[in-house]
Amino acid sequence: MNASIGERSEKLVNTPQETLDQSFFLRRKALKADLGSVRPSQKGPSPVELAVARQCQVPLKDIARVCSLHAVNGKALSQSLIESGRLSANQFYWALAGRLRLKFAQEGSLKVASDRLLDHRPLCLDGLLMVPAVDANRRAVMAVSPVGAQADTLARLVLQKATHGVPLVVVTPNELRQLVVTAHSTVGMVEANRAHSAYSRAHGRQKSLMSFAPFILFTLAPIGGTVILIVSAVLKVCALALGSLRLAAAWQTRKRPPVKSAPPGDLWNLPIYTILVPLYDEDAVCPQLVRALSNLDYPKNRLQILFLTEQDDTRTRERLKAMAEPHMQVLTLPDGQPRTKPRALGVGLQMARGAFITVFDAEDRPDPDQLKKAVARFRAETPDLACLQASLFIDHAQSGWLVRQFALEYASLFDVMLPWLADKNLLIPLGGTSNHFKTDLLRQVGGWDPYNVTEDADLGVRLTRYGYRVATLDSTTREEAPLKWDVWISQRRRWHKGWMQTVLVHLRHPVKLRRELGPRNSLLFLLWFVGGLACMMAAPWTLVAILGVMIHSATSAEGVPYWVPMIGALGAFCFSIGFGGAIFCLREGARRRGLTVHFWEYLSVPVYWLLGSCACYGALIDLFFRPHHWRKTSHGHVTYDPEAAPVAAE
């Protein structure tokens, strides 16, 4: 160790405590003296760190030992003291903030400046990273956590008042790391490709169309009857096409053989697999969740399980920490907007070490061999396969009519429609859980959009636009369905709002969408998303129109024009195909899942659709007034016993 460094260390270590507690003016003079004796390029312990360590009453022998080891391991003084347990991170950085007359922010007190990061970029000066954040007073600040010589740089900034009016706030390195990771996951995709993000509700020509919509409607008012007939014809075509798709899917028998878990020779060559579990207010299902993930038939040393919790969700975090296994890690996300599931998943994606990555919800119970099946399928397929969607199944369908309809809907979608679409190599709208990805390809397409509240459907479309394939996996994840209609409506409002966001995002450039998806997938996108939403919203008006024609026919002495029965017959035919396709698809899904369905449950499906229509109109309101609000669905209302059937809680 150089004599000059040793002399400076001894001088700073022996500085009396009273001198360290003098006024700000004297502290500035002391800092100038400390900094003036060291060149920025000179290697050695930071004078500012030495002074702060002495202020924290770290023993002289410990500081001398760390200084002597500095030339060997290259670690900063603060880093070595904190890692060895001689000093806590909070204590050191609190003292550093006090010496520089800056504010110190406890962990969790700063929010991610998601809405300002597009204007205020993180700065880096001589290795000192300054990250935009928002304090408790909603004031923009720059969070810093200097290590080693970065403390000298921070002191120079304070002395020169070179912060451009933005206050500096000192945080611990762990807090700064969380702010960086969360901020990047929030705005990374927006900065890389704003055209594929729901950050803005509408884009370019869409805004112009919305602005001129009242004028267009006023212009078309004189020919309102013709416009209604045209819209009615389009809706009939959509219902006919959707019903035909469901009929074709239900008619075709699955020919693909089941995928084996993994060849015996590959059991010792399994890749690292990352599991992301976003959670909020889920302490009730933590025991079930940990048990389900512990039952996965995959080597524990090849698993990375990340529980992603929000800053204010202390109960869930503490309960998980009490029962988490060594390969499970509980992460805390700094507060910020938007508070959505994809925002949390973006943080997990940046910290993922696995070659493959999957998402499970809090209430999920996947098949034990699901990960091995996914690895075997990825290895057996071509490199362009980017995602595998496992089947979702509601295993407490006996809990009431609403849950029964939900279970039938899931069976028809995940066991009939999606496998058929995969066999035809068509666009697949992903479910929100049990998606298995190749991590490198997921990062290549930008990951999840934090501003889209149905990040799964959006990601499925984006993967196809990038030229990758999405397929289904012959494995099941059991889920919990809402027991009450208001919870179901709230969940559907979020789903339908996300579908509307997905439509707006991917129709910003229709010609480009058609070129990237191809003619078949472009038509399927319009039919599945746009046509599905349109039919859902038109359901109650269709019922009103049918009733109106019936009443008019029964009460009018002159009867109705000749073309009305023709249009009614055409509408009845299209409705019959649409309804019949849905019923056959539900019946086939129930058969594959072993569910016994009564005849009256099939007849009550239109009532279920009317509930969905109510949720769709609520989603339209949310899209304009709360576009990025995440409607949380509560879980833990079903008691699950591995040796018995699930029972709904009272």
More confident residue, 82 or 402: 402
Q: Is the pLDDT of residue 30 over 50?
A: no
More confident residue, 259 or 4: 259
Give the mean model confidence (pLDDT) for residues 34-46.
48
Q: Which of 110-119, 396-405, 465-474 has the lowest mean pLDDT?
A: 110-119
Q: Is the pLDDT of residue 39 over 70?
A: no
Q: Which of 99-108, 159-168, 587-596 has the lowest mean pLDDT?
A: 159-168
pLDDT digits (tens, 9 = 90+) for 444-491: 998 999 999 999 999 999 999 999 999 999 999 999 988 888 899 999
Angle between helices 532-555 and 563-593 (to 10 degrees): 130
| Cα 35 from Cα 49, distance rounded (Å) | 11
- Give the DSSP letter string of 406-438: HHHHHHHIIIIIHHHHHHTT------SSSEEEE
pLDDT in the model for residue 283: 87
Token pair belonging to 439: 């991590």
More confident residue, 262 or 101: 101
Which amino acid is residue 42, in one-letter code?
Answer: Q
- The number of CA neighbours under 13 Å toward the Cβ of 649 is 12
| Cα 155 from Cα 40, distance rounded (Å) | 12
Q: Is the pLDDT of residue 648 over 60?
A: no
pLDDT in the model for residue 638: 72
**Residues 292-311 as b or e (16 or more Cβ within 10 Å = b):** bbeebebeeebbbbbbbbbb
Of 642, 622, 641, the closest CA to residue 631 belongs to 622
Residue 128, CA distances (Å) to 259, 281, 308, 345 in order: 51, 36, 28, 28
pLDDT in the model for residue 431: 87
- If pLDDT is split at 50, 70 and 90, which confidence band does 502 have? very high
Give the mean model confidence (pLDDT) for residues 572-586.
87
Q: Is the pLDDT of residue 186 over 90?
A: no
Residue 90 CB: number of other CB atoms within 10 A? Answer: 15
Overall size of the chain counted in residues = 650
| DSSP-assigned letter for residue 37 | T
Give the mean model confidence (pLDDT) for residues 372-378.
94
Phi-psi region of 165 (alpha: psi -120 to 50; beta: other; left: phi over 0): left
Q: Is the pLDDT of residue 566 over 60?
A: yes
| Cα 473 from Cα 296, distance rounded (Å) | 16
Residue 313 CB: number of other CB atoms within 10 A? Answer: 17
Return phi, psi of residue 449, to 5°.
Answer: -80, 115
Q: Is the pLDDT of residue 311 over 90?
A: no
Q: Is the pLDDT of residue 25 over 50?
A: no
| Cα 451 from Cα 497, distance rounded (Å) | 11
pLDDT in the model for residue 514: 93
| Cα 322 from Cα 324, distance rounded (Å) | 6
DSSP 3-state of 99: helix
Find out whether 488 and 611 touch, Cβ atoms under 8 Å: yes
pLDDT in the model for residue 428: 93
pLDDT in the model for residue 570: 75
pLDDT in the model for residue 31: 42
Give the mean model confidence (pLDDT) for residues 595-602.
89
* pTM assigned to the model: 0.80
DSSP 3-state of 482: coil
- Those residues with Cβ within 8 angstroms of residue 270's Cβ, 6 or more apart along the chain or in another chain: 262, 298, 299, 302, 372, 375
Rounded to the nearest integer, the mean pLDDT of the chain is: 81
| Cα 179 from Cα 133, distance rounded (Å) | 8
| Cα 12 from Cα 29, distance rounded (Å) | 14
pLDDT in the model for residue 562: 57
Which amino acid is residue 340, in one-letter code?
Answer: T
- If pLDDT is split at 50, 70 and 90, which confidence band does 396 have? confident
pLDDT digits (tens, 9 = 90+) for 335-359: 877 888 998 998 899 889 999 999 9
Q: What angle do CA 53, 77, 70 make, to 5 degrees?
A: 140
Give the mean model confidence (pLDDT) for residues 594-600.
89
Q: How far apart are the first and last CA of the chain?
A: 71
- The number of CA neighbours under 13 Å toward the Cβ of 283 is 12
pLDDT in the model for residue 559: 57
| Cα 603 from Cα 588, distance rounded (Å) | 16
pLDDT in the model for residue 42: 44
| Cα 307 from Cα 292, distance rounded (Å) | 14
Of 325, 347, 368, the closest CA to residue 279 belongs to 347
